[in-house]
Amino acid sequence: MTYCVGLMLDKGLVFMSDTRTNSGVDNISTFSKMFVWEQAGERNITLMTAGNLATTQSVVSLLDERSKEPAARHPGILEAKSMFQVATLVGNTLKEVIATHAETGQRADAAFNATMILGGQVEGGAPRLFMIYPEGNFIEASFDTPYFQIGETKYGRPILVRAYDPTMSFEEAVKLLLLSFDSTIKANLSVSLPLDVHIYEANSLEPGAQFRIQPDDPYYDRISNDWGVALREAFGQLPDFTFPEGLA
Amino acid sequence: MTYCVGLMLDKGLVFMSDTRTNSGVDNISTFSKMFVWEQAGERNITLMTAGNLATTQSVVSLLDERSKEPAARHPGILEAKSMFQVATLVGNTLKEVIATHAETGQRADAAFNATMILGGQVEGGAPRLFMIYPEGNFIEASFDTPYFQIGETKYGRPILVRAYDPTMSFEEAVKLLLLSFDSTIKANLSVSLPLDVHIYEANSLEPGAQFRIQPDDPYYDRISNDWGVALREAFGQLPDFTFPEGLA
């Protein structure tokens, strides 16, 4: 499994992904699920992937190859004129890769499927955030739904729903995402550190801050511990239930 | 879908279940998923069900019939000598009902399946809590795993993991369960109020407090609102992330 979140803030886009891949519980590896393409001053694009690793690696390799060989199919991810065109390109590539494997006669319920979060900015447009489905179509984040999650999304959703605020700073956003990831990691063995982070400042069109949070990261440890304490305190401060009369 | 939780506390057992059943998103009904059998001074048994409604109703009806006709199959749920025997009886009944439908040639991926939480006490034994699988086998709550969830379990799990404490009062336990249900209800349309609650005081062997929390319950509304505020405050008080040097 996997957990990736893309947040759209007033200040820009924040991406976080885990790095655990597993086939069953005893074939566990670390693979990055975050891929960044950038041309300073012109575009900055981030892709995060969940699902079949062979499929997602194949999609990324195809996008990469095309970006390196200008003579290859147009438009490449570095040539598309807008984020919408980039999303279309990624969606089509994803659909093609899945179809290729599905057509070889291998059938394994949805086993080649993958879902992706794509975000970034191309000169002349605003920052945009998309979720791309295995069928190649996609939806875009909006004011009402300003973030996307893929993979093991449920454990980490309540805190996002409660604490997300589009005006938050990047520092607060990383804190929020770490709490969301911590809830997931505590509950699901198939999601794990290290975590990849990419922060893109709106309208900068420059490489954003990109770093990896390691398993022994002191800030992560502190947030994880302090959040447990803070939750229990907040819980203690809420008024207790009182039994309906006659039932105590 | 469904959400039910059974908690084992030092003071006794607390059960909470939602009441929404749905077939797709446009065939929604309210059904209780909590069933209590009691004989004051002798036993108190609670069963909560998740899964195919026809299956769970059939299981409950069979258990009921047998409890009313002493001449029917032995031991009935009111005759079994221990909670272990009750769990065996419920498990066997569940397995039989599923097998009956499966054998008619109707095939619909796991559509007749159901999972159950069973808890209570029979004179001479301690309070016990079980999770019963469609195959008829079951596991028992222990010191390490002192609660069971069935149905849509993921959204409401992080708060249980963080705030559960076996020494908590019944009033605190209801508060905790309401927060866990609130997180689930906020995220998943197929779980909804009213909520059924049953509280069994350890070693009382008496009918426990049983009541229903309605959609307009003022305590639920308050807890739901206050928890949002408390979470955001707790979030605000945690130290913000600081970017690695050179990346700010």
DSSP secondary structure of A38-91: EETTTEEEEEEEEE-HHHHHHHHHHHHHHHH-TTSSSS-TTT-SSHHHHHHHHH
How large a percentage of chain A has pLDDT more than 90?
A: 76
- A158 and chain B in contact, CB less than 8 A: yes
User: In the prediction, which pLDDT does B110 show?
Assistant: 52
User: In the prediction, which pLDDT does B94 show?
Assistant: 95
Partners of B17 in the β-ladder? B4, B196
ipTM, two decimals, is 0.85
| Cα A193 from Cα A181, distance rounded (Å) | 9
Q: For the residues A11-17, what does the mean pLDDT come to? A: 98
Q: Give per-residue pLDDT as tens, B59-92.
A: 999 999 877 766 655 678 999 999 999 999 999 9
User: In the prediction, which pLDDT does B93 show?
Assistant: 95
Does the structure show a pLDDT above 80 at A239?
yes
Q: What confidence category does residue A72 fall into, taking pLDDT thresholds of 50, 70 and 90?
A: low
| Cα B12 from Cα B84, distance rounded (Å) | 17
| Cα B62 from Cα B52, distance rounded (Å) | 16
User: In the prediction, which pLDDT does B67 show?
Assistant: 73
Contact B243 A209 (CB under 8 A): yes
Burial code (b: 16+ CB inside 10 Å, e: under 16) for A226-236 equals ebeebbbebbe
Q: For the residues A126-148, what does the mean pLDDT come to? A: 95
Q: Give per-residue pLDDT as tens, A166-188.
A: 999 999 999 999 999 999 999 88
User: In the prediction, which pLDDT does A189 show?
Assistant: 87
Among B158, B240, B244, beta carbon nearest to A158: B158
Among B162, B211, B243, beta carbon nearest to A231: B162
Q: Tokens 């059960």 appear where?
A: B15
| Cα B203 from Cα B10, distance rounded (Å) | 11
Q: Give per-residue pLDDT as tens, A106-117.
A: 555 556 889 999
**A53-68 and A83-102 are packed helices; what angle lies between their axes, rounded to 10 degrees?**
130
Interface probe with A: pick from B169, B238, B243, most Cβ of A within 10 Å? B238
Chain B residues close to A174, C-beta within 8 Å: 240-241
Enter the tokens of residue B166: 């076996």
Q: For the residues A57-77, what does the mean pLDDT come to? A: 80
DSSP B89: H
User: In the prediction, which pLDDT does B23 show?
Assistant: 78
Enter the tokens of residue B172: 């605190």
Among A158, A171, A240, beta carbon nearest to B172: A240
Sorted by where each begins, the domain ranges of chain A are 3-236
How large a percentage of chain A has pLDDT more than 70?
A: 93
Structural fold of domain A3-236: Glutamine Phosphoribosylpyrophosphate, subunit 1, domain 1 (3.60.20)
Q: For the residues A59-76, what does the mean pLDDT come to? A: 78
Partners of A122 in the β-ladder? A43
Chain B residues close to A235, C-beta within 8 Å: 159, 163, 175-176, 179, 230
Which class for A34: exposed (0-12), middle (13-18), buried (19 or more C-beta within 10 A)? buried
CA of residue B218 relative to chain centroid, distance: 23
Among A171, A211, A238, beta carbon nearest to B175: A238
In order along its 248 residues, chain B shows pLDDT tens digits of: 899 999 999 999 999 999 998 877 778 889 999 999 999 999 999 999 999 999 999 999 999 987 776 665 567 899 999 999 999 999 999 999 998 877 666 555 556 889 999 999 999 999 999 999 999 999 999 988 899 999 999 999 999 999 999 999 999 999 999 999 999 999 888 899 999 999 999 999 998 899 999 999 999 999 999 999 999 999 999 999 998 877 65
Better-scored residue on pLDDT, A145 or B107: A145
In CATH terms, the superfamily for domain B3-235 is: Aminohydrolase, N-terminal nucleophile (Ntn) domain (3.60.20.10)
Mean pLDDT estimate for chain A? 91
> What is the count of residue pairs from A and B with beta carbons less than 8 Å apart?
133
User: In the prediction, which pLDDT does B201 show?
Assistant: 96
| Cα A137 from Cα A90, distance rounded (Å) | 9
| CA distance, residue B231 to nearest chain A CA (Å) | 7
Contact A187 B154 (CB under 8 A): yes
Q: For the residues A211-217, what does the mean pLDDT come to? A: 94
User: In the prediction, which pLDDT does B106 show?
Assistant: 57
- B211 and chain A in contact, CB less than 8 A: yes
Q: For the residues A31-43, what does the mean pLDDT come to? A: 94
User: In the prediction, which pLDDT does A75 show?
Assistant: 75
